[in-house]
Amino acid sequence: MRRRRSLLTAVGIALAAAMLAAAIVVADGLGRGFDRAARAADLADVIVRFDPQRAATVARRIEALPDIAAFSLRQEYTGVAIGANGHNSQSASAEVVGDGRRGYAIVGGRDVSGRPGEVVVERGLASAWRIKLGGTLFIDGLGPMRVVGFAESPDNVSYPLAAARIYLSRAGLARIPGAGLDPRVNFAQIWLRDPRNVNEVLVQARATSYGLDGVRFVTRSGLRVLLDQAAGIVIDLLVALSVIALATAAVMLGSSARAEVQRRLRSIGVRRAVGASRAHLAATQGFEALFVAAPAATIGAVAGTIATYHPTTNLLTLLNEPAPGTALLAPLLGGWLASIAIPVLAAAWPAWRAAGRDPVALLQGAELRRGSAAGGGSFRFGLNRAGLTVLGARLVGARRARLVAAAITLGASTAFILLMLALASALASLETDPGALGKRYQLTANLPATDTARVRAIPGVQAAAPRYELDGVDSFSLDEPIDVIAYPGDHTVFEAPPLTSGARMRGAHEAEVGAGLAGALGLSPGSTLAVQLPTGNELRLRVAGVVSSLDHDGRVAYVPAKALLALDPAASEQLAVRVRPGASVSRISALLGNTAAPATGATARGVPLVDTLRTILRAIAVVDGLVCLYALVQASALIVSERRRTVSVLRALGAGGDAIRRLLAGAVAALVLPAAVIGIVIERLVLGPALSSLAASYATLPLQPTWLEIAAVLAGLAVCSAVAVLWVARRATRETVVSGLGAG
């Protein structure tokens, strides 16, 4: 019996330690990943892209900027066709690097030298295509190149989330006949002496960029903000769940330890009577807990680390960030010690309290708890058919503080499971349903605006209009990218993200901005949006309203097409096509030919990232379910342990297994029913809104579970309860009645 109790305690400790280790691995890996990657890669403070220019011209302008520590120039080719190991891509990015600091880390092999035929590939690409060092990469126009190294740079996410990236040496390319190397550059990296001066440098850079076309700035701090938003969701989820798991384990272990001390009160009384000190008795109890906690915490910590290290490393690879490696040892050690210290203290504290009682009272079988011996609430047992079930509930209700603590921790776990389901639904919806983003068109067609009337005439097409989209930056804060979208008429026919404040735009001088952009730039209805367009022209509009949009992290602006085209007549255009309800999208797509493409969800290009997130969420939900099950089993076992004599009396009176199961069912129901209510309330009123705001402060992410999801979680709780009741009842009825009758 005691061995089984120890085993149950060990399982709880192992589970909590596993959760803590998993949280540490993911939180440390993702939370500090960017800084680690930036440090390893020697990431530049400012990255500038522009239309190709002579290197000397660009260098002169950069040298004129204040506080420059160093800079390097590159030619970045996009749309390069590459292939290896049966894989190929037509949209790779080839970075032709020259002298100076690189801005990327070599994580395998070596960097490109001046020799021809060498290439360094991004680690994410190497991983996805299984490219090995010394292997061959085919590059269109250059032929087979030998892969000499793997690189990593956090200035962008990795393949397949972004275009594949490779690095070539300018000197090496110059030695390849017919390589067609452009002597100009279009990419500059700038390192500052004091990165805090980045805004002053950007203002100056904007002034000196006169004559350069297509200038776009990205800063190290801007990159960090973007990446942290994605990682932050996962980190916060895991940290919160770990806290819940630890709290659950602590409450259950504390209760278990208290029950154990209650069982040993006479023994403690004897030892006090023969002169043992309180500290000695508490230490003895603590040491006993240590023998259980140390191996359990070790197993849990190792299991949690192993379970999450690989998925986290994969996620970090996608984000172009290095694995944490030995940096994890210190926080993991701290987590391991906490996993041991909590149960040891939970065991020592009730022993310390008990040892403080009068030894005579202990020898006479005093209760650890002072006060009324009855408890049990005010409701009557009654002579009705539900008698044993109600008795079970009353046995649990007799320990009110315990019941409240257990119901709250179980409720928190339930709330988390609901949250996971709601989040998974939201992710699935964002991935597959453009409508979830407020998009009302189903197709786009790469056709000029002049074809609008022809497309509208296609049967089944409800509406069609030109859609213009380009990348701009904020005129005042140049490192803030803005996705500018324009329609000639009412954009809500095609895209209607929910309005969170203000009004829809009217006329040619108003715009709607995403909440993410509004938050980043401090915009609100009535303020002025100033967008620097790729042409160098500035578009100034009054903000009419703020909309909730997940596209581009909410850094989006809907502007009138007339105002946009006046400043940038060459803005990228396509036709947005809205299909009548019931009409065949695929038929219309076929009629439009290869110019048509389905409208995409926010994450359609980031499917691997979403998949990884969903995998982590699923793992969290499974672990959370196990935490629930553990809490229920532990709570049931505690009831039996504390009420061992009551159970034995019932059995002596003729109660069989069925009656004990009814008793336990009532006890577990008294715990689970309030926990379920607490869980639903916590999710709907606290966790859902909090995470919705945390996950996307730039948009309203609905994280309310559906009634079906709630029903599923309640069914899961019922199953867990049934498992707990059956298991514990089986254990209880295996003990001899006589031994239980003598229990204190």
Partner 1 sequence: MINTNLGTVTPVPVLQARGITKTVGAGRAARRVLNGVDLDVEAGEVVAVLGRSGSGKSTLLHLLGGLDRPDAGEIVLAGRELTGQSSRALARARLRHVGFVFQSFQLIEELSGEENVALPARLPGARRGGEERARRLIAELGLSQLAHRRPHELSGGEQQRLAIARALVNDPELVLADEPTGNLDQDNGAAVLSLLRSLDGRAVVIVTHEPEAAAIADRVLHLRDGRLEADAGPARAAAALRESA
Q: Which residues of the chain form contacts with partner 1 (CB under 8 A)?
A: 373-376, 380-383, 385, 387-388, 391, 394-395, 398, 645-646, 649-659, 662, 733, 736-738, 741
249-270 CB burial, b ≥16 within 10 A, e <16: bbbbbbbbbbbbbbbbbeebbe
CB of 720 to partner 1, least distance (A): 24
CB of 644 to partner 1, least distance (A): 12
CB of 739 to partner 1, least distance (A): 9
CB of 2 to partner 1, least distance (A): 15
CB of 386 to partner 1, least distance (A): 9
Running DSSP on this structure, what letter comes out for residue 231? H
Query: 303 or 726: whose CB is closer to partner 1?
Result: 726
Query: Which residues are within 8 A (CB) of 593 and not within 5 positions of it... i.e. 6 or more apart?
Result: none
CB of 677 to partner 1, least distance (A): 24
CB burial class (10 A; 0-12, 13-18, 19+) of residue 360? exposed
Q: Which residue has the tokens 């690095």?
A: 167
Collapsing DSSP states into helix, strand and coil, what is residue 690? Answer: helix
The answer to whether the beta carbons of residues 515 and 549 sit under 8 Å apart is yes
Query: 368 or 557: whose CB is closer to partner 1?
Result: 368
Nearest to 402 by CA among 209, 233, 216, 631: 631
Query: 458 or 741: whose CB is closer to partner 1?
Result: 741
CB of 230 to partner 1, least distance (A): 53
Nearest to 46 by CA among 179, 202, 157: 202
List, in sequence order, the alpha helices (H) in 356-386.
359-363
Query: 42 or 735: whose CB is closer to partner 1?
Result: 735
The CB-side HSE value for 596 (13 A sphere, CA atoms) comes to: 18
Query: 326 or 736: whose CB is closer to partner 1?
Result: 736
Collapsing DSSP states into helix, strand and coil, what is residue 192? Answer: strand
Query: 393 or 482: whose CB is closer to partner 1?
Result: 393
Query: 587 or 645: whose CB is closer to partner 1?
Result: 645
CB of 634 to partner 1, least distance (A): 21
Query: Which residues are within 8 A (CB) of 116 and not within 5 positions of it... i.e. 6 or more apart?
Result: 172, 173, 175, 176
Query: Which residues are within 8 A (CB) of 717 and not within 5 positions of it... i.e. 6 or more apart?
Result: 414, 628, 672, 675, 676
Nearest to 260 by CA among 630, 15, 3, 626: 3
Query: 287 or 381: whose CB is closer to partner 1?
Result: 381
How many helices (H) and strands (E) in the chain?
A: 23, 20
Query: 578 or 643: whose CB is closer to partner 1?
Result: 643
CB of 741 to partner 1, least distance (A): 7
Which residue type occupies 13? I
- Which tokens go with 668? 């577990």
